[in-house]
Structure 1
Amino acid sequence: MTLGPGGREPDAVTALAADAYVYGSPLVRTLHFVQSCLQEGYGTTAPAPFNAFAHADGPATPGTPVPYAPADLVDALAQLDLSGGPVRLHVPDTGGAYYVLRFTDAWSNSFAYLGSRATGTGKGDWLIVPPGWSGTVPDELSGVIDAPTSVVSVVGHLACDGPGDMPRVRALQQEFTLTHLGDRAHRTGLPAPESGVPRELRFFEELRVWMADFPASAADRAHQDRFQPLGLLEEGVSPYVSAGPGLVRALGRGLALGRLRVEEAARRVVSMPAGPYGSWRTIGHLRDHNVDHLGVGTLAAPEWKIADREASYLVRAVAARRGHRLPHGYEAVYATTARDSGGRPLSGAHAYVLRLAPPPPVRAFWSLTVYDRPGGRLVPDTAGRFAVGSRTPGLAYGADGSLTLHLSVSPPGDPRAAANWLPVPPGAFRAVMRLHVPAQPVLDGSYVLPAFGRA
């Protein structure tokens, strides 16, 4: 029985389909994210067309539908289509306040950064150009960002110190602008897969269509040639419209196997605890899969690139699965824990202290936020304190520069402890420490976050 263009047996097709899922799921996930941003909006942002910013109304609140959303950053999203030519981006002077714009191609590679760490906080104009573009660059521009694919996602965050800071943030939001400079109209949507494809093969049809429209790097294309027997490289009429039951079953099993492989890797990918039982887990190297397109604001040192290209495909799939918020570790490191120093689950039934001696070394800011489990929502608090960190006014530091944070359902009676208080839910919770522009001791592991102790 012929199962595909290569006439392979079911087990061979299944194994190849699993590899194709690991390789191609970042493209499919990223473009689903783009579609969501265009049509329904994402998280705290409303829908917006190509080449326009969508800004959140404020930082996350307990009602925000996105799990583990930050409480001290305001999201800014833009989906760029460069098929009609370059787009000009204007960024305002933020007056020293932290912000970042991260540029991600259709394959989920973060290939450029603008903002506090990468380019400073002054105003500027940047030209974002499609692959192979060779036009003239105006002299007054701050620089050029070469996009690896004609569709690009811009994921941005602006620091916000609470509701009272939103007038400043809203004024900045109005100054982030995108102008299409191409001599042809840009697309209004993504290339559509054929409608007659069975639901079970939808992933492979999307991968087939989008691989053709958004070519990978030359080295990756050499790798994806091995998927020819699956029909993924065929042009024109979809080979999946008339797929036989044997091919449908083999591809379905491969899809399930590939998903399982990515899910298992996602559980392993966070770094193991560096200290005793109950220490924090950090995610700092999920974006190191990009080795081909390292532009403005990226670091090309070996420690930020995965040497084994085939191994990088699995990491890329995990990064795409875990979401679009995670940047390279040199932009931000996120640490999470759900246990105390004794290995017991964190719960609002107890009060906790976290002694930071010294506080985390960062070049921008750090903040600690707690979320309920398993929902990942912020804790409702009448005082409106959803995070505490280096930008929090009125914290009480020790004479040696240390900082002791207090976490409990109700505020402590001692005024100094109350100044350093972060409310927690009555039940189980998870703590997330965000270290923006971490200093070298964080990156090399010589600075270790202490565990929570029961008060």
Structure 2
Amino acid sequence: MERAALAAEAYVYGYPLVRDLSVVEDFMHTGFGPLPPAPFNHFAHAGRAAPPGAPLMSVDDDTVRSLAHLDLSGGPVLLHVPGAEGEDDTDGAGGAGGADCVLQFVDAWTNNFAYVGRRATGTRAGEWLVAPPGWAGDVPDGVLGVIDAPTSVVSVIGRDASRAVDDSDDSEEPERGRALRAQLGVTYVEPGTHRTGLPAPDPDVPEPLRFFEQLRVWMADFPPSARDQAYQDRFQPLGLLEEGPSPYTRADPALVRALTEGLARGRAWVEEEAGRAAAGRGGWVMDPHLYDYNLDHYGVGTIDSPEWRIADREASYRTRAVAARCSLWGVHGYEAVYAHTFRDAGGERLNGAGSYVLRFDGRPPPVEASWSLAVYDATGQRLVGTPGTRRRPVGDRTPGLVHGEDGSLTVHLRRERPEDPVAAANWLPVPDGDFRLVLRLCAPGPEILDGTYEIPAVERIR
């Protein structure tokens, strides 16, 4: 294989690692959207759901997020997890009657390797031991369980959809959110030295080769599974497996050309495939299996089943790159599914010049936890709001929605608040120009996962 083609392959393979750790590094200094910056092994909490206009790492913006990046290089840590005592869990099993809270564990390669929450582990409060690769120490008494991390840096993403935000709500967050923030925390188990930052690429490497230098350094410090490491051996001619001083500070011109061309090819492929995945072919688009690329690490709360694995390993690398580009840190389909559409029932692009309705006839989407509908701008990356109102997503946790006698629900999508009081109660603002709708389905029912549930089309009424 020519080196430029090999470099393109290396870009697609390594993009998730570089993307993930670049976000981790930036977050520790600048934060992300409504989340303030925080060092390793400390949680950052959003006081409220993401404000309109905030950049988003993924589409589940109507949840109050908590985020911690754990460094396990100095040994394991204890993760303190609050329970759900006192919640309105009418069915006693974490159904729609109770709040939906989950902690998602993601390794440096963006593999979802564990979940803690209602579906996965129940709602018992306590401590989980998060252990680094190869750790064989004594487990402290009283812990709820051990979460074995595939890499020494992992991200813990907390999502709490206890209720959606309404335009009449002037509080910072629900009381339950404040309680969760107070209880969620990290403590050290053993004396040890933990990182304060990530391994640094050589600053003398020219900017066009910086991606490959980051990949070289971070592959060495955060090795993947044994089978993936065997696959990485093919990248030896590119200098990606060299240890010590960077081979890219004074690289041979032929190698520079191959890496530069390969980076352009690989980047173009990722962008094209990500755009195709986002656009779909019209109507509602969703992929419950976009995050099935983890083939080697099945920890607490994950489902180790062929149904949730991509059969072809090399295909999994390509899917992983697209997922990292489209929506970093998304969850497995059994945890949540996101459907989106740019078009109405007639195939026309959704635009604020029109007024629309979305009619859920008979019953709302079949979920075991919660659902919500949000509006994004034309880029799909910014949540839409309107001046003078904070009303953003609507869903089963939104107070004041008006249902029909048969249980149906009609959501009104338009720029201005409707004059009719029923329509106003079910109003979701849209922007002036093109926009996208995203339907979040948490703990989706089997009808969603097998495709038998059909999301209603968006109807233009004027």
For Structure 1 versus Structure 2, the TM-score category normalised by the shorter chain is over 0.9
Residue 7 of structure 1 corresponds to which residue in structure 2? none
Residue 373 of structure 1 corresponds to which residue in structure 2? 378
Stretch moving more, 143-152 or 374-383 = 374-383
TM-score (norm 1): 0.92
Partner SS, residue 40 of structure 2 = coil
Matched, 1:329 2:319: no
Could you report, residue by residue, the CA deviation over 1:321-369 in whole angstroms, capped at 9, with x for unpaired residues?
A: 2232421111111111121100111122222111112310001110111
Matched, 1:182 2:190: yes
Matched, 1:448 2:454: yes
Partner SS, residue 451 of structure 1 = coil
Alignment of 1:118-267 (within 5 A): 118-159=120-161, 160-162=163-165, 163-164=170-171, 165-267=173-275
Could you report, residue by residue, the CA deviation over 1:19-58 in whole angstroms, capped at 9, with x for unpaired residues?
A: 1111111111111111012122122211111111011121
Matched, 1:362 2:367: yes
Shift of residue 195, structure 1, vs aligned partner:
2.1
Partner SS, residue 119 of structure 2 = coil
The runs of 4+ residues in structure 1 deviating greater than 4 Å are 67-71, 270-273
Shift of residue 68, structure 1, vs aligned partner:
6.9
Match of 2:437 among 414, 431, 435: 431
Stretch moving more, 379-388 or 43-52 = 379-388
Distance 2:242 2:352 in 1: 56
Distance 1:325 1:381 in 2: 30
Stretch moving more, 161-170 or 145-154 = 161-170
Stretch moving more, 331-340 or 366-375 = 366-375
C-alpha distance 24-178 of structure 1, shift in aligned 2 (>3 A): same
| Amino acid of the structure 2 residue aligned with 1:283 | D
Distance 2:394 2:325 in 1: 28
8 Å CA contact 2:53, 2:385 repeated in 1 = no
In the alignment, structure 1 segments of 5+ residues that lack a partner are: 1-10
Match of 1:97 among 93, 96, 99: 99
| Amino acid of the structure 2 residue aligned with 1:321 | R
Shift of residue 69, structure 1, vs aligned partner:
5.2
Distance 1:122 1:343 in 2: 47
Could you report, residue by residue, the CA deviation over 1:150-209 in whole angstroms, capped at 9, with x for unpaired residues?
A: 010112212244354434312211110101213311111111112222221111111111
C-alpha distance 271-139 of structure 1, shift in aligned 2 (>3 A): farther
8 Å CA contact 1:271, 1:283 repeated in 2 = no
C-alpha distance 313-152 of structure 1, shift in aligned 2 (>3 A): same
Matched, 1:388 2:411: no
C-alpha distance 362-168 of structure 1, shift in aligned 2 (>3 A): same
Residue 61 of structure 1 corresponds to which residue in structure 2? 51
Distance 2:138 2:164 in 1: 41
Flag the structure with more relative contact order, 1 or 2, with Cα contacts below 8 A and sequence separation at least 6: 2
Number of residue-to-residue matches in the alignment: 441
Could you report, residue by residue, the CA deviation over 1:262-304 in whole angstroms, capped at 9, with x for unpaired residues?
A: 122223335955xxxx411113222100010011111112121
Q: CA RMSD in A?
A: 1.8
Distance 2:307 2:222 in 1: 28
| Amino acid of the structure 2 residue aligned with 1:78 | A
C-alpha distance 425-200 of structure 1, shift in aligned 2 (>3 A): closer
8 Å CA contact 1:367, 1:388 repeated in 2 = yes
Distance 1:308 1:69 in 2: 27
Distance 1:377 1:119 in 2: 31
Shift of residue 409, structure 1, vs aligned partner:
2.0
8 Å CA contact 2:371, 2:395 repeated in 1 = yes
| Amino acid of the structure 2 residue aligned with 1:445 | G
Distance 1:414 1:208 in 2: 60
Partner SS, residue 269 of structure 1 = helix
Distance 1:250 1:105 in 2: 30
8 Å CA contact 2:270, 2:322 repeated in 1 = yes
| Amino acid of the structure 2 residue aligned with 1:54 | A
Partner SS, residue 83 of structure 2 = coil
- Give percent identity, aligned residues only: 58
Could you report, residue by residue, the CA deviation over 1:194-234 in whole angstroms, capped at 9, with x for unpaired residues?
A: 22222211111111111111111010011011111111111
C-alpha distance 261-71 of structure 1, shift in aligned 2 (>3 A): closer
Match of 1:342 among 333, 339, 346: 346
Match of 2:36 among 29, 46, 51: 46
Residue 281 of structure 1 corresponds to which residue in structure 2? 285
Partner SS, residue 36 of structure 1 = helix
8 Å CA contact 1:101, 1:157 repeated in 2 = yes
Distance 1:267 1:81 in 2: 33
C-alpha distance 325-16 of structure 1, shift in aligned 2 (>3 A): closer
Distance 1:409 1:251 in 2: 48
Residue 5 of structure 1 corresponds to which residue in structure 2? none
Distance 2:349 2:447 in 1: 28
Partner SS, residue 121 of structure 2 = coil
Shift of residue 60, structure 1, vs aligned partner:
1.4
Residue 91 of structure 2 corresponds to which residue in structure 1? none
Stretch moving more, 280-289 or 60-69 = 60-69
In the alignment, structure 2 segments of 5+ residues that lack a partner are: 88-97
Shift of residue 433, structure 1, vs aligned partner:
0.7
TM-score (norm 2): 0.91
8 Å CA contact 2:55, 2:382 repeated in 1 = no
Residue 403 of structure 1 corresponds to which residue in structure 2? 409
